[in-house]
Structure 1
């Protein structure tokens, strides 16, 4: 088996998850050392280990070093198997990041799959379940991927307890897509999720979003999550253009007022609206792999993040593609991939 050596000190958990995904999709194994070496707590944490275990099961892989705190890992993939799976982080670790690790392998499998994931569904440092359902999966659908997500139970940090159900159909070949333009603005919608906290906090956040973005501040847009497994507060804004949808989120935290949460979120949304690029910062990084598997594609984005750059270089090691980004005439950058 072909094996690749990866320097884990050059990134965090995303570098490991990307390597797992690429390994499953290409059949190339890897060793990685100095995992998350620059983080305050280096090595594999529970949510990283869940991603490793999920990739191991889906890809019939053999691993060495898959344990909490490990700073080195060897991963040798086998054939990917469609099927019914259940994975739990055992904490508030992100269930959506585990999903993104195995999803590309499952759409390359020879049959449909159903996956239940348990853990955090709305985490500050991970894509929310709403983002996955309303932005990420629709973007993949344009490329030919048929997948759906159902949120059965919300999970917030630090309690966790969220449940996601995902169904994935096999996709014989991805279609190259152009995400350069987003089309005319269709709507801006906001909602606030509250768990175990007074609903008026959400109403205050919603009012700030209404004052700055013009969204509907009606109380029906404040959703009280029951049962409340723990305290949680997330404000979400869906920006719908004719050809593209972006989902932005702001998370309540101790010592930060509802007005500050709303203002920060409004600022993110306004920055996107003021630009003319199609793809937001987080989705830009996540589109790289499906574009590479398609062999071609392009998108415009406001900035080239460190995540995007490092992910592109890792993908180029596993797949016979090259990424390029150039300043775009309307501002921002145009990112493209070719064989």
Structure 2
């Protein structure tokens, strides 16, 4: 175990100033064995400090690594986290109410990918949350990239959890890569192989899903067989997630628009169409949300293998730039980011 004198100190107000600084810091503290000190946690958010889902991430990270922790309290804006060795095993992590359990998974996953044995994780909480990657994004877009590294991530959705009730249930199986993670380049998406939309609207009138899918089909020129509804039970709601999945030769992207009381079905659709069209107009391999996650995965693989990697993304968000800056604090890697007219390029190399 590392000592406090070797702590990596992070300013939680830097860059986008949100919860991802905390989650990436925890993930890399566990993966590298370096202690973490973070202040001004979520300083740029309307309610700064640790909320329930962030505290769940801290507690999960502490359990996986046997960490010593100070400041793990609701509302806390400072945290000290001193990890021990990462332990593969069977875990159960729950987030109260509708806090995202998908974010808890993404916090502990990098360390468990480097463990000496597979792990199984039972997760409870929100599965389809605004401002967090929904289950279907992780299953279809993120998990295949984990497998390209030589590891494995299998996900099973037992019950959807929407805001504000939560109550979702997911099982995850994490298998580390034999011989270490192997980096790869992902600079082109390849040919489009499938495109479809689906609407999850449990606990809502049936016409909500029908209107959203009809509007999406008209806007995108998609046929009826590309428009799907269902897959949830009425008691899993009320909730509404309209999703578009674009499966290309080298990557799959998933875009989601969430319904709100103040939005019409057509407005929910318009949000999704805008996001999908922006990605389609670019020449990048991945969208802005997947770029955040891919940067961390490739950095870990570069660190383990000593080999560089690169990918292209449709938009360079402050989220991505902040995540890269946090990664560089923990790992002996450097990112080179270049914005282009139709795509941005992100390269990570060992130093």
TM-score class, shorter-chain normalisation, is over 0.9
| Alignment partners' CA distance in 2, 1:56 and 1:292 | 22
Residues 192-245 of structure 1 deviation map (CA, whole Å, 9 limit, x = unaligned): 001110111001100111112233335981116215243101011100111110
> What is the TM-score when the length of structure 2 is the normalising length?
0.93
Shift of 1:326: 1.6
Report if aligned partners of 2:197, 2:227 keep a CA contact under 8 Å in 1: no
Residues 139-176 of structure 1 deviation map (CA, whole Å, 9 limit, x = unaligned): 12111121100000000011100001000112231111
Alignment match, 1:83: 89
Alignment match, 2:332: 320
Counterpart of 2:120 in 1: which secondary structure?
Answer: strand
User: Which segment is superposed worse, 83-92 or 139-148?
Assistant: 139-148
Pick the aligned partner of 2:206 from 167, 176, 199: 199
Alignment match, 1:3: 7
In the alignment, structure 1 residue 307 sits paired with structure 2 residue 319: yes
In the alignment, structure 1 residue 49 sits paired with structure 2 residue 60: no
Alignment match, 2:305: none
Shift of 1:62: 0.8
Q: CA RMSD in A?
A: 1.4
Residues 256-309 of structure 1 deviation map (CA, whole Å, 9 limit, x = unaligned): 110111121112111111211111000001111111111121111122110111
In the alignment, structure 1 residue 135 sits paired with structure 2 residue 141: yes
Report if aligned partners of 2:333, 2:348 keep a CA contact under 8 Å in 1: yes
Counterpart of 1:123 in 2: which secondary structure?
Answer: coil
Pick the aligned partner of 2:127 from 111, 121, 140: 121
Counterpart of 1:243 in 2: which secondary structure?
Answer: coil
Pick the aligned partner of 1:297 from 309, 318, 321: 309
Alignment match, 1:166: 172
Pick the aligned partner of 1:265 from 247, 265, 272: 272
Superposed counterparts of 1:64-75, under 5 Å: 64-75=70-81
| Alignment partners' CA distance in 1, 2:39 and 2:238 | 36
Number of residues paired by the alignment? 338
Counterpart of 2:328 in 1: which secondary structure?
Answer: helix
Alignment match, 1:287: 294
Alignment match, 1:190: 197
| Alignment partners' CA distance in 1, 2:227 and 2:320 | 37
Report if aligned partners of 1:51, 1:98 keep a CA contact under 8 Å in 2: yes
| Alignment partners' CA distance in 2, 1:332 and 1:137 | 23
| Off by >4 Å, runs of 4+ in structure 1 | none
In the alignment, structure 1 residue 223 sits paired with structure 2 residue 230: yes
Counterpart of 1:232 in 2: which secondary structure?
Answer: coil
Give ranges in structure 2 of 5+ residues lacking alignment: 303-307
Report if aligned partners of 1:199, 1:222 keep a CA contact under 8 Å in 2: no
| Alignment partners' CA distance in 1, 2:190 and 2:209 | 31
Alignment match, 2:101: 95
| Alignment partners' CA distance in 1, 2:151 and 2:112 | 10
Superposed counterparts of 1:11-50, under 5 Å: 11-50=17-56
